[in-house]
Amino acid sequence: MEKNIIELITPVFFVLVVVELLYSAFGNKPFYRFKDSINNLSAGIFMQIFTVFITLGLMAVYSWVYAKFGVLNISNDSWIGWVFCFILADFFYYWYHRFGHEINIFWASHVAHHQSEDYNFTVALRQGVTQNTFSLPFYLPLAVMGFPPIMFLLCIQINFAYQFWLHTRAIPKLGFFEWIFNTPSQHRVHHGRDPKYIDKNYAGTFAIWDRMFGSYKEEEEEPIFGIVKPMQTWSPVWTQFHYFEELFHLSWKTKSWKDKFLVWFKPPGWKPKDLGESVVPPEIDRSTYQKFNTHIPYTLLAYSITQFFFGLGASMVYLEFKKELPLFEMCVLGFYVLWTLWNIGAIFELKTSGIVSELIRLASIAGLTYVYPFDFTHVEKLTAVLPIETLQYLPELMKQVALISFFVLGGFLVSQKRFFSIKGYTPKTV
């Protein structure tokens, strides 16, 4: 299978994001904030780039279990097999998702998806880079039952694709439909951090699992979105791994050997007795509640927008042509996309270290085009849409864009009078 379903319908996702964005703008509805949306999309790009290296390994594990322990021999041509595979995949997704909220180590793999304090289609793309790895054991019973790897892969991708439309405030309750299928109203509850909404509505496609296993909660007033300890950073790296770091910290500091182990398997918020009280989700005063935000000069905002779209374009090239690019070019492109997104997050926090890192990134791109003979003319898909002359010019274009960006950002720093005069923010949870 050359492409997965998520990659194939990604353009549809972005079209829907634009539609919702226009609806929000013309309807004067505060669904979107620029920096939060960029942070959501950055997390999605991180996940997709890492997925290239992870998915093959995970599917190899599933295929091995299927070949060694598969009880039945379910045919890919069986429509009954497809129906049961989809229903059971959704059932096992429910349990991974539930464990992902109720057990610390699984929450660490899933928490990135819940960090946004907004709720819009970009939140659907905000995913944890380790989530697929931690969810695989929950799906292995499908391999033992005898569902072929391609059937499992397509069913789980359709399940994920279905969940995209759930991430919107624009669609109200849907009546009888909600008794069978998951809906935006039900999933808004799932993303709420009001105490009454926490750990509710784990469904993927079918809402019946929540009703069967006692985790259903109907939406009353619209939730306050996010996690109990809101993120105070735009860093796409810290958002992915901060909870693992927190668990390591608790495990290291507690004196009880038993608690060093238990901290990984207790519910989120639990603490060993020698480290203080466990965190209880507090009620939220809506009259005083404020979302995390930072304010940056318009020059940096315009620069960040430009570089994000360059990074987004590069990530699309990475995903589209990854099988045709030589390994070195693929690794370099993926690395620079991730570096770009990390720098943008740091610039959003007015960190001088992030701006210096961005200058180094730009200079290294210009330098790399001098020492390495990048050649895009052998990528067949590119030659089908671009003239050879354009492909030959691409390395020179990369160098020119990098140099222009370097001088624009460098000029901004010079205008600050003192090189290290920019006040930044410290990434943290509160």
The gap from C-alpha 226 to its chain's centroid, in whole angstroms, comes to: 14
- As a whole number of angstroms, the distance between CA 223 and CA 218 comes to 11
How many other C-beta atoms are found inside a 10 Å radius of the C-beta of residue 126? 24
* CB within 8 Å of 92: residues ≥ 6 apart: 138, 139, 141, 142
Q: Which pLDDT score, from 0 to 100, does residue 188 have? A: 98
Instruction: Please say whether the beta carbons of 254 and 261 come within 8 A.
Output: no
**CA gyration radius, the chain:** 23
Q: Any idea where the domains of the chain sit in the sequence?
A: 5-213, 298-415
pLDDT at 424: 55
Residue 306 — very low, low, confident or very high, per pLDDT cuts 50/70/90?
Answer: very high
pLDDT for position 1: 42
The token pair that represents 358 in the structure block = 């961005």
Q: How many CB atoms lie within 10 A of CB 205?
A: 24
pTM: 0.90
Q: What is the pLDDT of residues 248-296, one digit of tens each?
A: 999 999 999 999 999 999 999 999 999 988 888 889 999 899 999 998 8
